[in-house]
Structure 1
């Protein structure tokens, strides 16, 4: 199987999964639950399958979020709504979002086929060393095919994310350096993530990357920094092959095609404000050859 298949799949499933984070329906669900503090809904919904865990546990698994960033939301969120309540509310919100955005597509045979392909792909994924993936995989799949598809893709997203943490640790890229390095390499404005960082923490992280030789004095990635990040992303891809190897190239390509068309439908109605993946893959999507 081509080594770039995991990256090609990310390109088409990340926008679909993102609806479960930023859609108006999900935001409304957070408000109805009372998860209204800054980023509380994000932290609670993503970590709910772990149970009522502490900020320290969430920071350890999310990796580039510090305890100080998370502590205003977790564990307070669990006193407002139980993890089980949060999980159920998120599924209901995803259902409503897709009924609004893709009312015809969710009734199609293709969506049911994609849900089944994702279910099969997940059987090739080991939970060993992948705590966030294991937690989300322990949540029973919803009955509706379109919500089951979202849940399965979200699991694969967490599977890749856990692998990325493994690759980052192996590259000795600590949490406080990970986000500044990502932003420098993708050209994303720091202001887009300013809620995470005090100026002192940000400047300290940038300085440490400059000392390492990965960023220039004006904050741009050096050749060494770009090469290091490329190695991390390549290793992340290698650690994310299992679900697609489970399907084989032909069925993986079939799933990619269905997801590409669903993402295109979301793009056509401006349902995605900015088509972005962590490695800045463009559009239209391309299958590796």
Structure 2
């Protein structure tokens, strides 16, 4: 029997902050020490590394949601300073260290090993077809140290869901920059206030919003229409549906155990950005 979609979405809520600790201060400093010029160099080097020295156009396509030209400001420049293999190692060390610091004494709790094992079972069980970034991560060795293994599993599950989310956006005709506008509106923000797109030239962002308005997804004031809200809900529901196969390997009791084990870890990780 498939797991309830609500439980699949709950796993997204728990996995996201654990995997996203990669983008916190500690891993960023590790990439700066490795020769990166700024945060975004480290972001693209670390996240794209499982794809190998792929050109900017390929990374742009796989990541899906960056505006034209953003990837090319960092790739291939970063590969002149660090190899993909080195970036993978820097990312894992920095992320595991950040998660360990966040968890404090609980990083050595016996229960964490069980949580990492359950998460890893799910993380390495999902189909890779159509999931380029997830497939790249699946090709990497799974860390043996429990905290690093938990972070790695969370990253796999996060990117597996992310690849599916991109497919859901594509199926609904929503481009990457448009997706950020819809996300901003779902969070109760105006698009120009949202971090991923607020830096875009006003004319460029206005054109994206006008395109959504022309499709009836955004109203004249720049907010959601009913159709826009319904489209966003359908995309999220399909994303959860596409993420579900990763958890088929776990029984209902095991998934409940994993959720319970991840909750305090995710809460601690979320507090890093609070």
* Among candidates 229, 250, 262, match of residue 247 of structure 1: 250
Q: CA deviation at 1:52?
A: 0.7
- What TM-score do you get using the length of structure 1 for normalisation? 0.89
**Residue of structure 2 equivalent to 1:176:** 177
Moved more, 33-42 or 133-142: 33-42
1:10-89 to 2 correspondences below 5 Å: 10-22=12-24, 24-37=25-38, 39-89=40-90
1:1-289 to 2 correspondences below 5 Å: 1-22=3-24, 24-37=25-38, 39-189=40-190, 190-191=192-193, 192-194=195-197, 197-267=200-270, 270-273=271-274
Moved more, 180-189 or 193-202: 193-202
Mark the CA change 1:117 to 1:246 in structure 2 (over 3 Å): closer, same or farther: same
Q: CA deviation at 1:124?
A: 2.9
- What TM-score do you get using the length of structure 2 for normalisation? 0.94
Q: CA deviation at 1:128?
A: 0.4
Contact kept in structure 2, 1:37 and 1:73, CA below 8 Å: no
Corresponding residue pairs, total: 270
CA–CA separation in structure 2 for the residues paired with 1:123 and 1:255: 15
Question: What are the superposed Cα offsets for residues 2-56 of structure 1, whole Å, 9 maximum, x if unpaired?
Answer: 122221111111111121112x211111110121245111111111110011110
Report the RMSD for the aligned CA atoms in angstroms: 1.5
Contact kept in structure 1, 2:21 and 2:269, CA below 8 Å: no
CA–CA separation in structure 2 for the residues paired with 1:86 and 1:241: 30
Contact kept in structure 2, 1:5 and 1:244, CA below 8 Å: no
Contact kept in structure 1, 2:99 and 2:269, CA below 8 Å: no
CA–CA separation in structure 2 for the residues paired with 1:81 and 1:123: 27
CA–CA separation in structure 2 for the residues paired with 1:59 and 1:155: 19
Structure 2 unaligned residues grouped into runs of 5+: none
Contact kept in structure 2, 1:38 and 1:73, CA below 8 Å: no
Structure 1 unaligned residues grouped into runs of 5+: 274-289
Q: Secondary structure at the match of 1:141?
A: coil
Contact kept in structure 2, 1:26 and 1:90, CA below 8 Å: yes
Q: CA deviation at 1:102?
A: 1.4
